[in-house]
Each structure stands twice: as C-alpha cells, then as structure tokens.
C-alpha cells in the first residue's frame, strides 16, 4: 500500500516537473479566480445589532435577497412581515425562516405591487393592526418583462418597481414617523444610470424597450429616495437606496419570455458574469446593513453598494426631475387629485 502511495506521489512530482508552465498557470489562474470571486462578493454587514421588539416589512420576501434579508432580520429577533404576491411561496418561505432562525414571529400578508387596490388594502391592515413599523424594505421587483400592464394600466416595471412602492411608503409614513427612529430601505440597481424618466411617454405606450423600462424604474427608485429623504428631514425617518450586486435570482425569470431565442445571444456574457455572481446571501448584505447598522441611524439620502456609500451619477441627483417625478407619481397613484 505504501509502495503504491509513493509511486503515485512520484508520478505527480514527475508530471509537475515536465509540465511546470501548465501547472503553474493553472495554480495562478485558480488562485486569481478565487480572489476575484472574493472581491466581487462585496462587503459584509458586520453589525451585531439586535431587533427585538422591532417590526420589519419586506416586500417580495418569499425568494431571493428579500427572503435572505427576512431570514437575517428574523435571526436578530425582529417581527418580520413578508409582503408577497404569491401566498403559497410566502408560506413556504415563512416556514423555512421560522425553522432556521427559531423566530416564530414571522407574519405573511398579501401584497401585489402591480395593483393599487392591493397596496391600499395591505397598508390599511398594517396601519390598523401594527403598533409600530420600524423598518420598511422596498425589495420586490420585476425586470425586463414583455410589454405588460399593471391592473391600473401602468407599464409593468414602472408600475411595480416604482409606483407600487411609492404608494406603499406614503401610506405607511405616519406609522413610520410614529415609530421613529425608523428606516426606509429601497433596493434599486446599478443600471439606474442608464435610465431616463420619459415624462412624455411614462408608460412606454409609443415605444417600449424592456431594458429601457427597467432602467427607468430603477432610476425612479433612486430619485424617489432622494426626494423622500428631503421630505423626511427632522422626522427621525431615514431613506436610503442600494445596488445589491449581480446574482442569479428569480428577478431575471422573464428574460427568455421577452426575448425568445435572442436571449441565447446573451449566453457568452452570462457565462462570464456567472464567474463573478454573488450568492443570494452576499447580495442581501447591503440591504441588511442599511436596515440594522446603528451607525446609520441618522444617515439619509444616500446610495450604497457593497455596504459602502457611493457617489451618484448626475442623473440620480437631478433634484428638478425628482420633484417632478414625485408630483407625477402622486397623481398616478391617486394621492393628489
């Protein structure tokens, strides 16, 4: 047995010597890939903060980074309300979170952000039942779907990603102010800088681009955060937005429906991205950081990535556009006649 071991070891050494450049390249490449993946994994929320006695609402919490955020905040002792469209998936997620964290205070409520009636019903339930809302995480979203409309006739991505959350946040503002210090955390995306608020065709009825509509909705998230933070100054309620990073979640589930065989042309790019995708747990870290870190209790109006504040591109700091978008959003969701 020992003889066979030494023979194998000798063969390995001999092979290594004979193919030194190839072996060295493989080792260097492997080590490099490891550290690249570590780099693209981004920052970690290192806050040990507890959330006992706090109530958290997370939209789209039945899957992806929403579910991972819910799991983390539940482990910190929070009462977590999973605000989800699909109650079957929400029940499964809630059961998993209860089991993995030992926190039984996980609540499910139906919320369809593509329906203003659903948003209003949800907000009414929360305002009547919950004594406090300490953290609101606007996480749910839809990406690059076909040219669909919401129940109220809005372009689906703008209606779900922005208008639904805009109405929800405004309907819960009094509760958030009463619960101060409290926080609004808005999940946007790096692609906001490719967006433009098309006020002349806000629902993309004349010209629809799945990608362009997604970028517009993510820019709307950032501009909403900026204007909201200004309006909340002095109330004890903060508002910040974030880019979670690139990862493989259900967010991209509509790409093949939208683009069909053309989606296959993206395969080489996706393959490269795959090497550097974050895990869902890694992708949730910035959301968690903004929700719990005590050093951010008074921080408001900023955009974060990898748990660090980032400078916004000019399109994300346009105050005139942010105010105009707020006014238009008020009219579209019925907050202002």
113's CB contacts (< 8 A; 6+ apart) are 59, 85, 119, 140, 159, 160, 161, 164, 165, 168
214 is catalytic: yes
Residue 25, class by beta-carbon neighbours within 10 Å (0-12 exposed, 13-18 middle, 19+ buried)? exposed
How far is 256 from 316, CA to CA, in rounded Å? Answer: 29
Cα dist from 226 to 38, 178, 319, whole Å: 31, 21, 8
Looking at residue 191, what DSSP letter applies?
G
Q: Determine which one of 5, 39, 214, 273 is catalytic.
A: 214
- With beta carbons less than 8 A apart as the criterion, state whether 208 and 193 touch: no
Query: In the numeric block, which tokens belong to residue 298?
Result: 């008074």
250: phi then psi, degrees, rounded to nearest 5: -70, -5
Cβ atoms of 80 and 61 closer than 8 Å: yes
245 Rama sector, left if φ>0, alpha if ψ -120 to 50, beta otherwise: left
Residues forming the active site: 214
């Amino acid at each position: 047995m020992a003889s066979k071991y030494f023979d194998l070891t000798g063969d390995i050494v001999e092979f290594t010597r004979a193919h030194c450049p190839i072996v060295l390249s493989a080792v260097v490449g492997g080590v490099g890939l490891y550290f690249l993946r570590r780099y693209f994994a981004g920052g970690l929320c290192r806050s040990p903060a507890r959330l006992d006695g706090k109530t958290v609402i997370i939209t789209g919490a039945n899957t992806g980074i929403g579910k991972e955020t819910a799991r983390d905040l539940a482990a910190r002792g929070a009462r977590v309300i999973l605000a989800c469209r699909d109650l079957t998936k929400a029940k499964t997620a809630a059961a998993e979170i209860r089991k993995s964290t030992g926190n039984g205070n996980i609540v499910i409520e139906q919320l369809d952000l593509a329906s203003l009636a659903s948003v209003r019903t949800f907000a009414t339930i929360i305002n009547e039942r919950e004594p406090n809302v300490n953290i609101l995480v606007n996480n749910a979203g839809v990406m690059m779907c076909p040219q669909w409309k919401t129940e109220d006739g809005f372009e689906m991505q703008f209606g779900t990603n922005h208008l639904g959350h805009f109405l929800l946040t405004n309907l819960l503002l009094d509760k958030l102010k009463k619960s101060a210090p409290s926080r609004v955390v808005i999940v946007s995306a790096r692609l906001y800088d490719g967006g433009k608020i098309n006020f002349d065709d806000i629902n993309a009825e004349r010209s629809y681009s799945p990608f362009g509509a997604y970028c517009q909705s993510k820019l709307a998230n950032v501009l909403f955060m900026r204007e909201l933070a200004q309006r909340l100054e002095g109330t004890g309620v903060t508002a910040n937005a974030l880019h979670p990073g690139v990862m493989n979640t259900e967010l991209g589930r509509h790409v093949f429906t939208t683009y069909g065989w053309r989606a296959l042309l993206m395969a080489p790019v996706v393959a490269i991205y795959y090497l550097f995708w974050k895990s869902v747990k890694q992708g949730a870290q910035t959301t968690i950081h903004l929700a719990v870190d005590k050093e951010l209790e008074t921080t408001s109006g900023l955009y974060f990535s990898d748990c660090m504040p980032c400078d916004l591109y000019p399109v994300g700091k346009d105050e005139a556009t942010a105010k105009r978008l707020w006014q238009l959003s008020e009219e579209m969701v019925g907050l202002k006649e």
